[in-house]
Structure 1
Amino acid sequence: MESQRSFLIIGLALVSFLLWQSWQKDYGPQPVVPVEQQQTQETSQGVPSFNDNGSEDVPSSDSVPAAQPVAAAQSSNRIIEVKTDTLDLRIDLLGGDVVSADLLKFPVEQGSDIPYSLLRSGNGLYVAQSGLIGAQGPDASSSGRPVYNAQSDYYEMTGDTLVIPLTWKNNQGLSVTKTFTFTKGQYDVNVSYSVENGTGSAATVQPYAQLKQVMEFEDDSNMFMPTYRGAAYSTEDDRYQKYSFDEIEDDNLRETTKAGWVGMLEHYFVSAWVPSQEQTNTLYSRNLKNQYAVIGVLSPSESVAPGETKTLASTLYMGPKDQESLAKIARGLDLTVDYGILFWISQPLFALLTFLHSLVNNWGVAIILITIVVKGAMYWLTKKQYESMARMRNLAPKMQQLKDRFGDDRQKMSQAMMELYRKEKVNPMGGCLPLLLQMPIFLALYWVLMESVELRHADFVLWITDLSTKDPYFVLPILTGASMYLLQKLQPTTITDPMQQKIMQWMPVAMSVFFLWFPAGLVLYWLVSNVITLVQAKMIYASMEKRGISSK
Structure 2
Amino acid sequence: MDNQNKNLILAVVLSGIVLLAWTYFFPPAEQPAITAPSEVTTQAGDLPTPSASDATTSTTAPETPTTAAADAGRVEIDSARLIGSISLQGGRVDDVSLKDYTVSLDSDELVTLLSPVGSANAYYTVYGWTPGGDLQAADVPNSNTIWSVESGETLSTDTPVGLVWDNGNGLVFHREFSIDDEYLLTVSQSVENNTGAAVRLAPYGIIARHGLPDTKSYAVLHEGLVRLDDEELEEVKYKKMDNFPEANGVYTEEYAVTQNGWTGFTDKNWMTTLIPMPGQAFKSIATFAPAADLYTAQTILPTMDVAAGETAGVTTMLFAGAKEWEAIKHYQNDVGISRFVDSIDWGMFFFFTKPIFRLLHALNALIGNMGWSIIVLTLIIKGIMFPLAYKSYVSMARMKELQPEMEKLKEAAGDDKQKMQQGMMELYRKNKVNPASGCLPLILQIPVFFSLYKVIFVTIELRQAPWLGWIRDLSAPDPTSILNLFGLLPFAAPGPESMLAIISIGILPILLGLSMWLQQRLNPAPADPAQQMIFMWMPWVFMFMLGSFASGLVLYWITNNTITFTQQYLIMRSHGHKPDVLGNILRTLRLKKKEAAAK
- With the length of structure 2 as denominator, give the TM-score of the two structures: 0.73
Structure 1 pair 143–444 and aligned structure 2 pair: CA distance change class (3 A): closer
Do the aligned residues in 2 keep the contact of 1:273 with 1:297 (CA within 8 Å)?
yes
In 1, Cα distance between equivalents of 2:366 and 2:152: 45
In 2, Cα distance between equivalents of 1:384 and 1:212: 54
Residue 160 of structure 2, aligned match among 160, 163, 166 = 163
Question: Match for residue 150 of structure 1?
Answer: 149
Alpha-carbon shift at residue 56 of structure 1 (Å): 8.3
Do the aligned residues in 1 keep the contact of 2:225 with 2:264 (CA within 8 Å)?
yes
In 2, Cα distance between equivalents of 1:441 and 1:20: 14
Residues 42-81 of structure 1 correspond to what in structure 2 (within 5 A)? 46-51=48-53, 77-81=72-76
In 1, Cα distance between equivalents of 2:433 and 2:339: 46
Structure 1 pair 15–233 and aligned structure 2 pair: CA distance change class (3 A): closer
Question: Match for residue 436 of structure 1?
Answer: 443
Do the aligned residues in 1 keep the contact of 2:102 with 2:109 (CA within 8 Å)?
yes
Question: Match for residue 362 of structure 2?
Answer: 355
In 2, Cα distance between equivalents of 1:306 and 1:53: 29
In 2, Cα distance between equivalents of 1:209 and 1:344: 33
Do the aligned residues in 2 keep the contact of 1:457 with 1:466 (CA within 8 Å)?
yes
Question: Match for residue 305 of structure 2?
Answer: 303
In 1, Cα distance between equivalents of 2:109 and 2:466: 19
Deviates more, 1:421-430 or 1:436-445: 421-430
In 2, Cα distance between equivalents of 1:76 and 1:499: 71
In 2, Cα distance between equivalents of 1:47 and 1:53: 13
Q: Structure 2: which amino acid aligns with 1:316?
A: L
Alpha-carbon shift at residue 126 of structure 1 (Å): 0.6
Residue 339 of structure 2, aligned match among 307, 332, 337 = 332
Per-residue CA shift, 1:60-108, capped at 9, x if unaligned?
xxxxxxxxxxxx99x9743222211211132122221111111111112
Establish whether residue 477 from structure 1 lines up as the match of residue 509 from structure 2.
yes
Residues 282-297 of structure 1 correspond to what in structure 2 (within 5 A)? 282-288=283-289, 289-297=291-299
Establish whether residue 506 from structure 1 lines up as the match of residue 506 from structure 2.
no
Deviates more, 1:305-314 or 1:119-128: 305-314
Residue 385 of structure 2, aligned match among 378, 384, 392 = 378
Question: Match for residue 277 of structure 1?
Answer: 278
Question: Match for residue 554 of structure 2?
Answer: 523
Residues 227-242 of structure 1 correspond to what in structure 2 (within 5 A)? 227-242=221-236
Q: Structure 2: which amino acid aligns with 1:531?
A: T
Residues 347-496 of structure 1 correspond to what in structure 2 (within 5 A)? 347-393=354-400, 397=405, 425-473=432-480, 474-489=506-521, 491-496=522-527
Deviates more, 1:136-145 or 1:313-322: 136-145
Structure 1 pair 199–19 and aligned structure 2 pair: CA distance change class (3 A): closer
Structure 1 pair 451–421 and aligned structure 2 pair: CA distance change class (3 A): same
In 2, Cα distance between equivalents of 1:319 and 1:513: 34
Q: Structure 2: which amino acid aligns with 1:332?
A: R
Q: Structure 1: which amino acid aligns with 2:255?
A: E
Do the aligned residues in 2 keep the contact of 1:322 with 1:334 (CA within 8 Å)?
no
In 2, Cα distance between equivalents of 1:530 and 1:517: 19
Structure 1 pair 51–171 and aligned structure 2 pair: CA distance change class (3 A): closer
Structure 2 residue matching 1:240: 3-state secondary structure:
strand
Residues 257-276 of structure 1 correspond to what in structure 2 (within 5 A)? 257-258=257-258, 259-276=260-277
Alpha-carbon shift at residue 139 of structure 1 (Å): 9.2
Q: Structure 2: which amino acid aligns with 1:162?
A: T
Per-residue CA shift, 1:430-485, capped at 9, x if unaligned?
31133213322222122212211111111111111111111111111111111222
Residues 118-157 of structure 1 correspond to what in structure 2 (within 5 A)? 118-121=113-116, 122-135=119-132, 140-141=137-138, 145=142, 146-151=145-150, 154-155=153-154, 157=156
Do the aligned residues in 2 keep the contact of 1:77 with 1:153 (CA within 8 Å)?
no
- CA RMSD, Structure 1 to Structure 2 (Å): 4.0
In 1, Cα distance between equivalents of 2:288 and 2:525: 59
Structure 1 pair 512–14 and aligned structure 2 pair: CA distance change class (3 A): farther
Alpha-carbon shift at residue 488 of structure 1 (Å): 2.2
Deviates more, 1:520-529 or 1:436-445: 436-445
Alpha-carbon shift at residue 271 of structure 1 (Å): 0.1
Question: Match for residue 176 of structure 2?
Answer: 179
Question: Match for residue 193 of structure 1?
Answer: 189
In 2, Cα distance between equivalents of 1:441 and 1:466: 25
Structure 1 residue matching 2:160: 3-state secondary structure:
strand
Structure 2 residue matching 1:472: 3-state secondary structure:
coil
Alpha-carbon shift at residue 45 of structure 1 (Å): 8.6
Alpha-carbon shift at residue 509 of structure 1 (Å): 1.4
Residue 214 of structure 1, aligned match among 210, 215, 218 = 210
In 2, Cα distance between equivalents of 1:213 and 1:286: 10
In 2, Cα distance between equivalents of 1:216 and 1:535: 47
Structure 1 pair 522–143 and aligned structure 2 pair: CA distance change class (3 A): closer
Alpha-carbon shift at residue 361 of structure 1 (Å): 0.6
Establish whether residue 255 from structure 1 lines up as the match of residue 255 from structure 2.
yes
In 1, Cα distance between equivalents of 2:162 and 2:25: 51
Q: Structure 1: which amino acid aligns with 2:345?
A: D
Q: Structure 2: which amino acid aligns with 1:104?
A: K
Per-residue CA shift, 1:246-268, capped at 9, x if unaligned?
42475311211222211011111
Per-residue CA shift, 1:486-544, capped at 9, x if unaligned?
2222x152434455434323322111111211110011011111222222223212221
Structure 1 pair 286–156 and aligned structure 2 pair: CA distance change class (3 A): closer
Question: Match for residue 349 of structure 2?
Answer: 342
Deviates more, 1:306-315 or 1:454-463: 306-315
Establish whether residue 96 from structure 1 lines up as the match of residue 91 from structure 2.
yes
Alpha-carbon shift at residue 400 of structure 1 (Å): 9.2
Alpha-carbon shift at residue 551 of structure 1 (Å): 6.9
Do the aligned residues in 2 keep the contact of 1:132 with 1:208 (CA within 8 Å)?
yes
Per-residue CA shift, 1:268-299, capped at 9, x if unaligned?
10000011331321111233324111120111
In 2, Cα distance between equivalents of 1:155 and 1:172: 30
Per-residue CA shift, 1:19-57, capped at 9, x if unaligned?
9969x99xxxxxxxxxxxxxxxxxx99322435857988
Do the aligned residues in 1 keep the contact of 2:204 with 2:301 (CA within 8 Å)?
yes
Structure 1 pair 529–322 and aligned structure 2 pair: CA distance change class (3 A): same
In 2, Cα distance between equivalents of 1:45 and 1:302: 10
Do the aligned residues in 2 keep the contact of 1:97 with 1:127 (CA within 8 Å)?
yes
In 2, Cα distance between equivalents of 1:458 and 1:381: 33
In 2, Cα distance between equivalents of 1:137 and 1:531: 73
Do the aligned residues in 1 keep the contact of 2:205 with 2:274 (CA within 8 Å)?
yes
Structure 1 pair 256–222 and aligned structure 2 pair: CA distance change class (3 A): closer
Deviates more, 1:208-217 or 1:500-509: 500-509
Structure 1 pair 17–284 and aligned structure 2 pair: CA distance change class (3 A): same
Question: Match for residue 38 of structure 1?
Answer: none
Residue 324 of structure 2, aligned match among 322, 325, 345 = 322
* Identical residues among aligned pairs (%): 29
Structure 1 pair 130–137 and aligned structure 2 pair: CA distance change class (3 A): farther
Do the aligned residues in 2 keep the contact of 1:78 with 1:93 (CA within 8 Å)?
yes
In 2, Cα distance between equivalents of 1:153 and 1:279: 28
Structure 2 residue matching 1:346: 3-state secondary structure:
helix
Structure 1 pair 286–384 and aligned structure 2 pair: CA distance change class (3 A): closer
Question: Match for residue 61 of structure 1?
Answer: none
